[in-house]
Amino acid sequence: MTNTTLERGWYVVHTQSGYEDRVYKQLLQKIQIEHLQDKIFTVMIPTEDVVEVKKNKKKISKRKFFPGYILLDMRVDEQTYWFIKGIAGVSGFLGEPRPTPLPEEEVKGILELTNTAAEGKPRPAVQFEKGENIRIIEGPFRHFVGIVEDVNDAKAKIKAMVTIFGRPTPVELDFLQVEKL
C-alpha cells in the first residue's frame, strides 16, 4: 500500500470462514477506540431473515448473502489499510494489493437487497426447483412423497404431484410444509 489516499467507497474485506460476526464486533470496538469514525463510516454484513423448520418448530435466523465477506464504507489510506489488515480473522481486501471499491450499481443492489430483506417477511431457508423430489412434513398429506411441478418463490409455495391412492394428484404446499429428499 502506497502513501496515497483512495477515494471514499464501499470496500470488500475477506474474512476467515465463520469469523464475520467476530470481525464485525472487533471492527466496531476498535474504530471507537482509535477514533476512526471520520475514515470508516459503515461496517456491514449483508444478511436476510430466513425461516427454517426444525423439530416441527419454525425458527427465524439470519443468512449471510456473502459468507466470508464484510462491506465497509470507508476511505482507504495507509492507516486504515493496516488497521483493517491487523484485525484478527481478516484475510485482506478484495483487489489486493490496491483495494478496489465496489461499483456504485453493485452497492445499490446489495443495500436494496439487505433493506428489502429487513422489511419483508422472512424467506424460507430452502429453495426448490421443478423436478425435485420432496416429502411432505406437515398437513393432511404428511409423509407423502412427491415431485415438484411448479415453484412460486414470491408466495413461497410449490405445486407438487403426489401419488394418493395410486393416482398422481396435484397438491399446492407451502415451502415450510415440505423437505427435500
Which string of DSSP letters, residue by residue, matches 83-122? HHHTSTTEEEETTTTS--PPPHHHHHHHHHHHHHHHHSPP
Cβ atoms 162, 146 nearer than 8 A: yes
Spatial CB neighbours of 155, under 8 Å, sequence gap ≥ 6: none
- Rounded distance between C-alpha atoms, residue 128 and residue 180, angstroms: 8
Residues 152, 106: one domain?
Answer: no
| Same domain (yes/no): 105, 68 | yes
Looking at the structure, do residues 103 and 168 belong to the same domain, yes or no? no
Instruction: Based on the fold, state whether residues 144 and 107 are members of the same structural domain.
Output: no
Residue 2 lies in a domain: no
Task: Tell me, yes or no, whether 93 and 170 share the same domain.
Answer: no
Output the tens digit of pLDDT for each of the chain's 181 residues. 545 566 789 999 999 988 999 999 999 999 999 999 999 999 999 887 777 766 667 777 777 888 899 999 999 998 999 999 999 999 999 888 888 899 988 888 888 877 765 555 666 667 788 999 999 888 888 889 999 999 887 777 899 999 888 888 899 998 888 888 8
Give first-to-last CA distance, the chain, whole Å.
Answer: 50
**152 domain residue, yes or no:** yes
Alpha helices in the chain (DSSP H): 20-34, 78-85, 104-119
Q: Is the pTM of this model over 0.85?
A: no
Domains of the chain: total? 2
- Do 83 and 112 fall into the same domain? yes
Q: What is the pLDDT of residue 117?
A: 56
Query: For residues 80 and 107, what is the distance between their CA atoms, to the nearest angstrom?
Result: 21
Residue 3 is assigned to a structural domain of this protein: no
Q: Note whether 7 and 75 are within 8 A (CB).
A: yes
Does residue 68 lie in a domain region? yes
Set of cell numbers at residue 72: 465497509
Residue 95: what pLDDT? 85
Could you tell me if 139 and 101 lie in one domain? Answer: no
Kindly state whether residue 1 falls inside one of the protein's structural domains. Answer: no
Same domain, 44 and 116: yes
CATH number, position 54: 3.30.70.940
89 and 59 both lie in a single domain: yes
Percent helix, strand, coil in the chain, to 5, is 25, 40, 35
Other beta carbons less than 10 A from residue 155's beta carbon: 10
Report yes or no on 65 lying in a domain: yes
Instruction: Cell numbers for 58, please give them.
Output: 419454525
Q: Which domain holds residue 74?
A: 8-124
Same domain membership, residue 119 and residue 173:
no
* 83 φ/ψ angles, rounded to the nearest 5 degrees: -60, -50
- Residues 74 and 41 both lie in one domain: yes
